[in-house]
Structure 1
Amino acid sequence: MAGLCFDMYGTLCDTSSVRARLGEVLDVPDRLVAAVDETWRRKQLQYSYQSAQMDDYEPFWTVTSHALDYALAAYDLDPDAEARDRIRDAYDHLEPFPGAVEALTRLSEAGHDVVVLSNGDPAMLERLAANAGLAPHLDDVLSADAVRTFKPDPAVYEHAAEALDRPLDDCRLISSNAWDVAGAGNAGMATTWVNRSRDPPETIGARPDREVSTLPAVADDLS
């Protein structure tokens, strides 16, 4: 049995589910809602990389806030502070992907240690895990905040192995983010890529050890 480390954002929970809140608060056409959402997520990831590379760590909640401010400014939108708070709080209520609870439950019952390993800071991960109904099916929630950097820095994956008290190669990252899989594999962790979009693998970093298209397929493969 292994230590299974699930990414949260984009793997267990759908970051695009913020669009409902964006549409409600901004009251703009769906096309603009989609554009704001895509820019927000892209900048959220970019700012996490920049923060790590500049050795200027800020918690992921703060990074997410900066990215939202950029996305709104990019489309000449200027909601007030209360509206921004309502939009940002959508990250506490992301929808789990189909089969998320099923996969976690089956893998736990098979004897694996099942945890989240995410860039999210501990408080936001705990809120989301509870709101999405995932918390009862997890053994722990591990955050990059513990090492004050972000994936794909090897320190994040090494932290997971230490927390699980296992060798790094006895841990497996399960992620839908190809860059995350490449980083974990490069650090020495086993990997499963949940490739929902049938994308090619990254050409920098390690290739995935296993590839599936759904979360239940992860359980089919590893149970």
Structure 2
Amino acid sequence: MPMTTCVFDAYGTLFDVGAAAAQAAREPDHAALADVWPAIARDWRLKQLQYTWLRAVAGQHCDFWQVTQDGLDWALEASGLDNAATRARLLELYWELRAYPEVPAMLRSLRDRGMKTAILSNGSPAMLEGAVNSAALGPLLDAVLSVEDVQVFKPHHSVYDLVGDHFQCAKTEVLFVSSNGWDAAGAAGYGFQTAWVNRAGEPMDRLYATPHHILPDLTTIPELI
């Protein structure tokens, strides 16, 4: 059965999650970030993800905005920063994350090939709307799907079910793309064809499934169809 639908994780895949800390660090009002923003960006993302997994296992769901704030608070404390204005600025910028430079052309190429395109994300609907609008990607997407519809974070199978429920397509018709190795593995175990966008050159996670493709960025995604 041919592929009909290409689905993307949002944060770290289409949108650069390090952009908020990098931008704030360039602003005079937040000069304290200048030397520590890479560590804050790394810790913020790590804790954000860890909190989704822990909440999913414990059955203590909250929306992604809450874990985003909680992760940032941990990262700021770990770096010895206690500045309410800097915290507020970092959270504000998270609603305006830039897309990676290859994203618009890649999505247009998929659409030109007749593919349906969508986001499937841990992000809350409001967060995703902000990111998509800020990056002007709305016209290039057929759907933006959030885990809030099932009240559990990825890689729970009910999250991946949202794709088939929305598009009425078989698993084998879907190419799922994520910058998170564990997410690409989870989707592969679910039955999707998957591509892991491994921008950082990380080792593969030792899990119950492995991604079908490993790419350095999103440029060649249309060639996989």
TM-score by length of 2: 0.92
Aligned position for 1:117: 120
Aligned position for 2:74: 70
Identify the match of residue 188 of structure 2 among 182, 185, 188.
185
Identify the match of residue 176 of structure 2 among 173, 183, 186.
173
SS in structure 2 at match of 1:31 = coil
Q: In structure 2, do the counterparts of structure 1 residues 197 and 73 end up closer, same or farther at CA, with 3 Å as the change threshold?
A: closer
Tell whether the 8 Å contact from 2:95 to 2:127 is kept in structure 1 after alignment: yes
1:28-47 equivalences under 5 Å are 28=32, 30-47=34-51
1:9 maps onto 2:20 in alignment: no
CA deviation digits over 1:154-198, x for unaligned, max 9?
A: 111112221111122322211111111011111111111222233
- How far did 1:40 drift? 0.7
Identify the match of residue 195 of structure 1 among 184, 195, 198.
198
What code does the residue aligned with 1:17 have? A
Give the Cα separation in 1 of the matches to 2:117 and 2:161: 16
What code does the residue aligned with 1:135 have? G
Give the Cα separation in 1 of the matches to 2:122 and 2:67: 10
Q: Which runs of 4+ in 1 moved over 3 A?
A: none
Q: In structure 2, do the counterparts of structure 1 residues 196 and 21 end up closer, same or farther at CA, with 3 Å as the change threshold?
A: closer
Aligned position for 1:217: 220
Tell whether the 8 Å contact from 1:9 to 1:15 is kept in structure 2 after alignment: yes
Give the Cα separation in 1 of the matches to 2:121 and 2:33: 32
Tell whether the 8 Å contact from 1:185 to 1:205 is kept in structure 2 after alignment: no
What code does the residue aligned with 1:134 have? L
Unaligned 5+ runs, structure 1: none
Give the Cα separation in 1 of the matches to 2:95 and 2:35: 24
Give the Cα separation in 1 of the matches to 2:125 and 2:101: 24
1:34-113 equivalences under 5 Å are 34-80=38-84, 82-113=85-116
- How far did 1:29 drift? 5.1
Tell whether the 8 Å contact from 1:98 to 1:215 is kept in structure 2 after alignment: no
Give the Cα separation in 2 of the matches to 1:138 and 1:215: 16
Determine what percentage of the aligned residue pairs are the same residue: 36
SS in structure 2 at match of 1:15 = coil
Tell whether the 8 Å contact from 2:122 to 2:154 is kept in structure 1 after alignment: yes
Unaligned 5+ runs, structure 2: none
Root mean square deviation of aligned Cα: 1.5
Give the Cα separation in 2 of the matches to 1:86 and 1:61: 15
